[in-house]
């Protein structure tokens, strides 16, 4: 396998090709390698200089990897990144601790880094950005959010002159794949989870997807870039989809909604003009007529609202080997161009340093499904619990329940999270309420 172009070789100033090391040869890494080979001639022209793959670090050297010369592989990532002829390190291992160690070491050794690792970036962005600045190298991570969809580049560059108000969307392919299949085909959660795993969408630790942490990392990255404020995964309120049942999905359908796991990043402005940033991830009811409702399978979609640009929509493949490799390759080309021609990619911009909003102050609409006694006066008793907390009801629907109870489905107007939480606690203590079956937030109306 040749990875060096003999036809075009201004190299990186000293005539040497740009040296690339790939860490990881799994779903994403193997595709990066395949596409680097496939597009080599084009990439050399796009970079404006030759590049050469110096090695691929893996966990298990004994694994059979057809079509790739054995001598390229090593199980010593540290040794590979410290080679003098390596200029760009591509981290596609996953996890946090070990990639943190190697990425930091690479940056400190003066290598530009391209990573698809949202968990790493969301947890350690400050330290990594500082190391990149000190060494004067690039840190690229377009693939970390929504895989193939170019959304970080537009936030970093195209919208650098605008004022972003919100970034909202579906940023986790696995959960969208599962929720969409449960909604459209009635498929079981377990079957669809297994299929998502087979297709390579699911993280090594599946709870990262199911419990919303993967989407929370992406929300942190999006919010940081959108609002020029450091937002880490710890700043993101996060609920996953494990509590969403087939009954919730059916109930949503009959009310004209679909359930999506949304990441919502907003610039909030209080009555005194104080700005804060809110980033949250939770299952959300979306009207079936809303564009997000038709985002199916493992696709992702992100809406950005900016003051001057207005509304922008980004849609595409949010997971999988080749789509992710596309974004990684774009970053490799960017980093390699800078090695050949000089210059650096835009770095971290956190000058605005907006405070993170208290989650209790965030306002949303809610859809509450509960079982109540089927007797005169229950509706008034229940409604009083909401009005006591200043929550206004938008719709109240009573449906057939069992023999001695009725189902009450309430949609509220916008209310504070803290008021809603207190309301649910009071409802649970109200003798007329047998059970609060679900509380799901509502967007897009
Ligand atoms: P995989 O689990 O498929 O691959 C991980 C790779 O890392 C394997 O090749 C493994 O080696 C290698 N590895 C493990 N430990 C080490 C080590 N100590 N040194 C060197 N290599 C090691 O993961 P993915 O390719 O799916 O994901 C990689 C990254 O990309 C993650 O951060 C993920 O979040 C991100 N990402 C993934 C997407 C996807 O759809 N899959 C989409 C967007 C981002 P071995 O082959 O020997 O086991
Ligand atoms: N596990 C992730 C997802 C991969 O399902 O979206 C893409 O980041």
Q: Give the integer Cα–Cα distance in Å for 348 and 230.
A: 9
Q: Is 27 annotated as a binding residue?
A: yes
Lowest mean pLDDT among 113-117, 151-155, 371-375: 371-375
Per-residue pLDDT for 5 more than 80?
A: no
Average pLDDT (156-183) is 97
Task: Write the residue with the smallest CA distance to atom 15 of ligand 1.
Answer: 59
Q: Give the integer Cα–Cα distance in Å for 358 and 279.
A: 10
Mutational test site, ligand 1, from 24, 98, 173, 233, max ligand atoms within 8 Å of CB: 24
Confidence category of residue 107, pLDDT binned at 50, 70, 90: very high
Q: What is the mean pLDDT of the chain?
A: 95
Domain extents in the chain: 15-147+321-341, 152-316, 362-442
Pocket residues: Cβ below 6 A from ligand 1: 23-29, 57-60, 63, 77, 92-94, 98, 116-117, 143, 147, 200-201, 203-204, 319-320, 324
Q: Give the integer Cα–Cα distance in Å for 197 and 173.
A: 11
Counting residues of the chain whose pLDDT is more than 90, the rounded percentage is 90
Is 434 a known active-site residue? no
Q: What is the pLDDT of residue 3?
A: 42
Q: What is the pLDDT of residue 13?
A: 65
pLDDT in tens, 258-276: 999 999 999 999 999 999 9
Ligand 1 closest atom vs CA 144: 44
362-442: CATH number? 3.30.70.260
Superfamily grouping for domain 15-147+321-341? NAD(P)-binding Rossmann-like Domain (3.40.50.720)
**Interval between CA 116 and ligand 2 midpoint (Å):** 10
Task: Write the residue with the smallest CA distance to atom 20 of ligand 1.
Answer: 58
Residue 278 in contact with residue 136, Cβ under 8 Å? no
User: 390 is written with which tokens?
Assistant: 């200043």
Q: Give the integer Cα–Cα distance in Å for 20 and 406.
A: 64
Ligand 2 closest atom vs CA 203: 1
**Interval between CA 152 and ligand 2 midpoint (Å):** 16
Mutational test site, ligand 1, from 33, 35, 58, 331, max ligand atoms within 8 Å of CB: 58
| Helix, strand, coil abundance in the chain, percent, nearest 5 | 40, 25, 35
Q: Crossing angle of helices 97-108/118-135, nearest 10°?
A: 20
Q: What is the pLDDT of residue 189?
A: 87
Which helix (H) or strand (E) is 363 found in, with range? Answer: strand 363-373
Q: Is the CB of 348 under 6 A from ligand 2?
A: no
Q: Give the integer Cα–Cα distance in Å for 362 and 235.
A: 13
Q: Is the CB of 209 under 6 A from ligand 2?
A: yes
**Interval between CA 143 and ligand 2 midpoint (Å):** 10
3-state SS class at 150: coil
Q: What is the pLDDT of residue 186?
A: 86
Ligand 2 closest atom vs CA 144: 8
Q: List helix spans (H) across 57-212.
A: 77-81, 97-108, 118-135, 152-153, 173-184, 189-198, 207-210
3-state SS class at 317: strand
Q: Is 23 annotated as a binding residue?
A: yes
Q: What is the pLDDT of residue 195?
A: 93
Mutational test site, ligand 2, from 115, 147, 262, 325, max ligand atoms within 8 Å of CB: 147
Ligand lying closest to the C-alpha of residue 24: 1
Options 54, 111, 168, 218, the catalytic residue: 218
Lowest mean pLDDT among 189-193, 212-216, 433-437: 189-193
**Ramachandran region, residue 228 (left: φ > 0; alpha: ψ -120 to 50; beta: rest):** left
pTM of the model: 0.96
Per-residue pLDDT for 438 more than 70?
A: yes
Terminal Cα distance for the chain, rounded: 54
Ligand 1 closest atom vs CA 214: 34
pLDDT in tens, 55-98: 999 999 999 999 999 999 999 999 999 999 999 999 999 999 99
152-316: CATH number? 3.30.360.10
Task: Write the residue with the smallest CA distance to atom 8 of ligand 2.
Answer: 319
CB atoms within 10 A of CB 194: 12
Residue 103 in contact with residue 89, Cβ under 8 Å? yes
pLDDT in tens, 216-249: 999 999 999 999 999 999 999 999 999 898 888 9
């Amino acid at each position: 396998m040749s990875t060096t172009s003999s036809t075009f070789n201004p190299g990186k100033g000293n005539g040497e090709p740009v040296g690339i090391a790939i860490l990881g040869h799994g779903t994403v890494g193997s595709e990066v390698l395949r596409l680097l080979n496939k597009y080599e001639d084009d990439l050399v022209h796009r970079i404006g200089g030759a590049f050469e793959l110096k090695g691929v670090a893996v966990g298990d050297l004994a694994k059979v990897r057809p079509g790739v010369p054995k001598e390229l592989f090593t199980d010593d990532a540290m040794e590979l990144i410290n080679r003098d002829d390596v200029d760009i390190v591509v981290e596609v291992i996953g996890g946090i601790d070990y990639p943190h160690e190697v990425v930091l070491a690479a940056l400190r050794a003066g290598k530009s880094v391209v990573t698809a690792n949202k968990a790493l970036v969301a947890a350690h962005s400050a330290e990594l950005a500082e190391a990149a600045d000190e060494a004067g190298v690039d840190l690229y991570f377009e693939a970390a959010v929504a895989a193939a969809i170019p959304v970080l580049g537009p936030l970093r560059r195209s919208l650098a002159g605008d004022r972003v108000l919100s970034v909202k969307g579906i940023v986790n392919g696995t959960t969208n794949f599962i929720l969409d299949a449960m909604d459209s085909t009635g498929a079981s959660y377990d079957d669809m989870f297994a299929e998502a795993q087979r297709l390579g969408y699911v993280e090594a630790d599946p709870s990262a997807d199911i419990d919303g942490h993967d989407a929370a990392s992406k929300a942190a990255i999006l919010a940081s870039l959108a609002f020029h404020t450091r937002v880490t995964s710890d700043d993101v309120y996060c609920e996953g989809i494990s509590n969403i049942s087939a009954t919730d999905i059916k109930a949503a359908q009959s009310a004209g909604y679909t359930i999506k796991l949304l990441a919502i990043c907003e610039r909030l402005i209080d009555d005194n003009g104080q700005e804060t940033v809110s980033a949250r991830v939770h299952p959300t009811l979306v009207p079936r007529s809303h564009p997000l409702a038709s985002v199916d399978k493992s696709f992702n979609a992100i809406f950005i609202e900016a003051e001057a640009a207005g509304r922008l929509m980004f849609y595409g493949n949010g997971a999988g080997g080749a789509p992710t490799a596309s974004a990684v390759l774009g970053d490799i080309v960017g980093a390699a161009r800078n090695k050949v021609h000089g210059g650096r990619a835009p770095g971290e911009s956190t000058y605005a340093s907006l405070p993170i909003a208290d989650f209790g102050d965030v306002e949303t609409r809610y859809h509450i499904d509960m079982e109540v006694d089927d007797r005169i006066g229950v509706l008034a008793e229940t409604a009083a619990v909401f009005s006591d907390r200043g929550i206004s009801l938008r719709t109240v629907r009573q449906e057939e329940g069992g023999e001695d109870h009725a189902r009450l489905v309430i949609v509220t107007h916008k209310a504070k999270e803290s008021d809603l939480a207190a309301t649910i606690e009071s409802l649970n203590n109200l003798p007329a309420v047998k059970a609060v079956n679900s509380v799901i937030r509502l967007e897009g109306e």
